[in-house]
Amino acid sequence: ELRLLRTAIDISIDGHYAMMRGARPGMKEYELEALIEYTFKRKGAEDVGYPSIVGSSYNACILHYTANRRATKMNDLVLADCGAEYHGYTADITRTFPLSGRFTKEQRLLYNVVLEAQDSGIAASVVGAPFRAPHRAAQTVIARRLMELGIIDTLEHVSRYFMHGTSHYLGLDVHDPGTGGPLRANSVITVEPGIYIPEGSPCDRRWWNIGIRIEDDILITSAGPVNLSERLVRTADEIEAIVGKAP
C-alpha cells in the first residue's frame, strides 16, 4: 500500500512542478489545471484523486473551489490543491505560488506564517499523539502570528481565517476512513494549515484576497513523521526560483 501511495505522490509532485514552471500571468485557472492533469496522465496515473482545486486571488479563499474558470492576473496568488490517483491510491498535495514569480510583502509574510504552522503540525505528527495534535499545533502558530500582524484582536478570532481542520487520513480515498484516535505507525495523514482572507474581511484591506494553504502527506512512524511529498519545494524562496521557469 505504501509503495502505491508513494507512486501516486511522486506523480502528483511532478504535476505540481509542471504547473508552477508553466504558469504565466493571464492564463485561465483551467489552463493551469490542464498542465497538472496532463502530467498526471503522462506519468501513468489513471485519474485524479479528487476534482482539482486551482483558485487564484479571491478564489483561493473559497474552500473546495473547483470551477477553475477565472483569468489570472500579474500579482495573483494561485492555490493548487491537486492529487493523482494511481492503482486506487490517491495523493493530496497543495502548494500556493505567485503568478508573477515574486510574492508581495504581504503574501510572503502570510506564506511564512502558514509554513511555520505546517512545520509545527508535522512535528506533532508522532505515534501516540492525539489525532488533533497537528491541528492544535498549527492553529496555535497561526493565531499568534495573526495577532502580531494586527489581523485579529483575540486568539479566538483565528477561526475567521483558518476555518478547517489540519489533518485527515489518506489512502484509498482522499479523505480515508480512520479511527480518529491516537496516531499509529504506518498511518498516513495530511498536514494542511491555511489562511484565507477574502475581500471585505474586518482587517486592513492590504491583506484582502490572500488565500494560502500548504499541504503534504505525512507517514507516521515510530522514528518520527516522514514527509512523503518533501520532494516538492515548500519555502517562498524555493517557489520563486521555479515559477514560470522551464526546467
In angstroms, how far is the first alpha carbon of the chain from the final one? 31
What are the CB-based long-range contacts (under 8 Å, 24+) for 36-44? 36/80, 36/82, 37/82, 39/11, 39/14, 39/15, 40/11, 40/12, 40/15, 40/84, 43/10, 43/11, 43/14, 43/15, 43/84, 44/7, 44/11, 44/86
Average pLDDT for 115-135: 98
Average pLDDT for 193-213: 98
**Could you give the percent of the chain with pLDDT greater than 70?**
100
**Could you give the percent of the chain with pLDDT greater than 90?**
99
Q: pLDDT confidence of 46, banded at 50, 70, 90?
A: very high
| 247: pLDDT strictly greater than 80 | no
What is the reported pLDDT for 25?
A: 97
Secondary structure, 3-state, 62-84: CCCCCCCCCECCCCCEEEEEECE
What digits encode the pLDDT tens for the residues 81-98? 999 999 999 999 999 999
Average pLDDT for 218-223: 98
Distance of CA 145 to the CA centre of its chain: 19
Average pLDDT for 140-146: 98
Return the SS3 of 210: strand
Average pLDDT for 200-225: 98
What digits encode the pLDDT tens for the residues 20-43? 999 999 999 999 999 999 999 999
Flag whether the pTM goes above 0.85: yes
